[in-house]
Amino acid sequence: MQVKIKMANLIFPGRAAKLFIALNQPRTINTLMNSYGRFFCTKYGCLSQQDGISLPKRYLGQPTPFTHKHLLKDDEITPQVTRQEYMDRRTALMSAIGRSFSGGSSGSNHAVVVLAADKKYMTDDIPYPFRQNTSFLYLTGFQEPDSALVLESIPGRPLPEHKATLFVQQRDPERELWDGPRAGTEGALQFLGVHECKPIGDLSEKLHSLANSKSELVAWYDVFKPSNATLHKEVKDTFVQQCRNRGHPVNILENVLQSQRVIKSPSEQDLMRTSASVAANAIKDVMAFSHPGVNESILYAKLDYSCRVRGAEFLAYPPVIAGGSRANTLHYISNNQMILDTELVLMDAGCECHGYASDITRTWPVNGRFTEPQAEVYQAILDVQKDCIEMCTVGGTLDQVYHFMLAELGKCLQEMRVLPPELAEWELIKMTKQYCPHHVGHYLGMDTHDTGRVSRSSQLQHGMVVTIEPGLYIPESDTSAPAKYRGIGIRIEDDILVTTDGPEILSVECPKEIEELETLIRK
């Protein structure tokens, strides 16, 4: 039986309607719990759930506490992230939207649209492994393609109060025979903790209604970064263009959402510790496996295997596994050459664990012994990296660390007689960029290069995760450098959690001291 209440365009179906009535009666929270089963609340509103989670006794297309008891606790949607946290994320986003909107008060009507990714294909009917759109995954935990989340403010109620509606693919036995089970509207509604769930075919009608039924509306959608080609066209035609025609502003959601995502919650910090630990130990396995004459592709396979057996879903990006002078190609990903005796291996790699990435770089001698010039360059970079990590404190910025890195690496290059002495500081930094053309680091999280809209001149805050990755790359053709250094390319990268107690090195399990590396590889 469906009991519906219509109030200011907000429809409460079924048990949610009963709960809404109950919340307006002089009864206690405990009485409501007993009458209507378990329900989940933020400080701004409640969602009804029948008898705890009460999931369908079937596979929903992604792990649930019913099918994956070893992986998920009863209140988790994804490992270590609860239903309540996903609700809080959506509430925090709507609160931030209310604060950031300069065109009116937080009481204005707002509508947010976030799309799931679509499947990508190598060739006809041969898909790539599916990876969900980061923003959609962050706000829902839902792993299926071709879905959409709509968040809308409640007329007459201040933000961050809102209604969350998820649009998903309907159950389809024929397609599920080929592609696997779907959650459907029923499974998604019960599992994910949204207010309402509808078929994805209803999205256009909903968006058209939102755009045309509000006299005052602020739309939030990432127009310039479509994550789903088909749904993006639908949103542009039925929502974005309609809003523009009616004079409603259309704002970029990324700016607000990434400012929220860059600060990691305690559960996210734990997930990033896990991801960094898995990658660190996998790289350690590869170091121990290294030997002269090994092909870069074999080290790639060893890395991938070692990450997966420790629990990673897949690698976070195509790794760089560069022997010898190939390390001077910053994004070398061919990984198909033999590594010769006396050459260095530069490995830049990371994995994804339950939606969170790691990003680590190590450089080591394939035969277990640094040459004297290799050791000299390596130790110089390692010393600078340690100083840079110490600068990752609350209130500092990545740009400040970058300027420090360039100045210190420049001094090292002068000591090695790669650069001339007695340069002005600006000249030294400019010339150092020829040998270290990249920044000292970037934000890290659900994406490897995470929250790119957040400036590296922003102050570091507790809960941010950054990489620190100084390097020097001296081309074989550089006749201005002493011959013994030519062809050497070295980078050392760690993942750093910024805390009020100082920097925490998440990738600490991956060795980087010269003696540690030589002992491990020779063993």
Is the CB of residue 108 less than 8 Å from the CB of residue 219? no
The closest of 522, 485, 475, 494 to 378, measured between CA atoms, is 485
Q: Write the single-letter amino acid at 231.
A: L
Edge-to-edge strand ranges of the sheet holding 148-153: 196-199, 162-168, 148-153, 110-115, 218-220, 250-251
Tokens of 42: 């933020």
Report the distance separating Cα 374 and Cα 384, nearest Å.
Answer: 16
Residue 62 burial (CB count, 10 A): 20
The closest of 342, 378, 370, 381 to 519, measured between CA atoms, is 370
Name 315's bridge partners: 351
Is the CB of residue 435 less than 8 Å from the CB of residue 472? yes
Predicted TM-score (pTM) of the model is 0.89
Q: What is the pLDDT along the chain (523 residues), one digit of tens a residue?
A: 333 333 333 333 333 333 333 333 333 323 322 322 334 444 434 554 433 456 778 899 999 999 999 999 999 999 999 999 999 999 999 999 998 875 444 457 999 999 999 999 999 889 999 999 999 999 999 999 999 999 999 988 889 999 999 999 999 999 999 999 999 999 999 999 999 999 999 999 999 999 998 778 999 999 999 999 999 999 999 999 999 999 999 999 999 999 999 999 999 999 999 999 999 999 999 999 999 999 999 999 999 999 999 999 999 999 999 999 999 999 999 999 999 999 999 999 999 999 999 999 999 999 999 999 999 999 999 999 999 999 999 999 999 999 999 999 999 999 999 999 999 999 999 999 999 999 999 999 999 999 999 999 999 999 999 999 999 999 999 999 999 999 999 999 999 999 999 999 999 999 999 999 999 999 8
Report the distance separating Cα 320 and Cα 111, nearest Å.
Answer: 42
Residue 293 burial (CB count, 10 A): 10
Residue 306 three-state SS: helix
Is the CB of residue 158 less than 8 Å from the CB of residue 106? yes
> How many Å from the N-terminal Cα to the C-terminal Cα in the chain?
70
